[in-house]
Amino acid sequence: MKKVFVDYKKCLACKSCETACAVEQHPSHTLFGALGDTRTQINVRVLGVEHEAFPLSCRHCDPADCLDACPSGAISRDEGSGAVLLNPDLCKACAMCAMVCPFDAIAFKQTHRARYGRDVAYKCDLCNDRIKKGGTPACVEACHSGALVYGDFDRIRGDRAVSGLKCYLLGKHDALPPLVELFRELRRKECLRRRGGE
């Protein structure tokens, strides 16, 4: 089963993934449509923690706590792709899923898929339609630095078995390209400087 892996060491926090996700999820599939639209849904969020950054979104866990907690039958798994999917027609926005998700990957708002004039839960769908046609998720396609990789879960886990979330993180080579290395160094210094200045 393939998943999206994050090599946070390569993430430059450019947020291309967020933009690509917004465009992919928007009914117009255009940047102009998604811009300034309060219903625009973005399923990935670039989080900055000190000098580190990484895009976080649903990990499509197996077993998935959210799926087991949903009392309205809205969350299911596509057995073919492994994606954990959320059907907004059945979702009651009751937050049982968000209450147990360790990755904070489920949020609520009135998206374009909300049908009853209220908020619904929304989360990453692994671009299920794209990957079923042999493509890659939009965020991965948009990532310039190689921080997001769509790859085989079992193989990667076998290669880099570590505890907790780390098994989701992928770093094929410990050596980073010189520019990325430089960028990280600058960011680390900037972070230290700002903290020192407080």
Partner 1 sequence: MKVVTVGTGMAAAEFVQRLRLEGLKGPITMIGDEEFPPYSPCVIPFFLAGEPLETVYWKGRDFYERYGVNPLLGDPVTEIDIERRQVRTSGGRIEGYDRLLYATGSRSWYPKPQWLETRGVFGFKTLTDMVAIDRYVRENRITRAVVFGGGFIGVDAALALRHRGLEITLVHRNTRLLSQMTDEEGGRFATAKLKEKTGIDIRLKSTVDAIIADHGQLTGVRFSDDSSMETALLIVSIGVSPNSEPMTGEDRGVAVSAQMLADPSIYCAGDVAVTPHLVDGRDGIYATYPNAMLQARTAARHLMHGDGVYPGSINTNVLKKHIDFPIVSAGSFSGEAVTWEQGDIWRRVYLKDGKINGYLIIGDTRMSGYVYQLYRSQKRVDRSIKAILASPRHDGYYREMLGVRDCGSSVF
The set of residues, in sequence order, having a beta carbon less than 8 Å from that of 51 and lying 6+ positions away, is 184, 187, 188, 190, 191, 192
Considering the rule CB under 8 A, would residue 108 count as an interface residue with partner 1?
Answer: yes
Binding-site member from 116, 129, 135, 152 for partner 1 (CB under 8 A)? 116
Binding flag, residue 72, partner 1 (CB under 8 A): yes
38 binds partner 1 (CB under 8 A): no
What are the residues whose beta carbons fall under 8 Å from the beta carbon of 55, sequence distance 6 or more? 6, 11, 17, 18, 44, 45, 46, 47, 139, 143, 147, 148
Q: Which of 47, 50, 73, 81 has the alpha carbon at shortest distance from 190?
A: 50
Indicate the DSSP class of residue 69: H
Closest CB to partner 1 among 52 and 78? 52
Residue span binding partner 1 (CB under 8 A) among the ranges 23-31, 104-112, 153-161, 172-180: 104-112
Residue 94 makes contact with partner 1 by CB under 8 A: yes
Q: Does 180 bind partner 1 (CB under 8 A)?
A: no
Is 48 a binding residue for partner 1 by CB under 8 A? The answer is yes
Residue 167 engages partner 1 in binding (rule: CB under 8 A): no
- State in angstroms the smallest separation of the CB of 182 from partner 1: 15
13 binds partner 1 (CB under 8 A): yes
Question: Residue 131 has which token pair?
Answer: 């990957």
* Residue 92 binds to partner 1 (criterion: CB under 8 A): yes
CB 39 within 8 A of CB 62: no
CB atoms within 10 A of CB 186: 11
List interacting residues with partner 1 (CB under 8 A). 8, 13, 46-54, 56, 65, 68-69, 71-73, 89-90, 92-96, 98-104, 106-108, 116, 118-119, 164-166, 187, 190-191, 194-195, 198
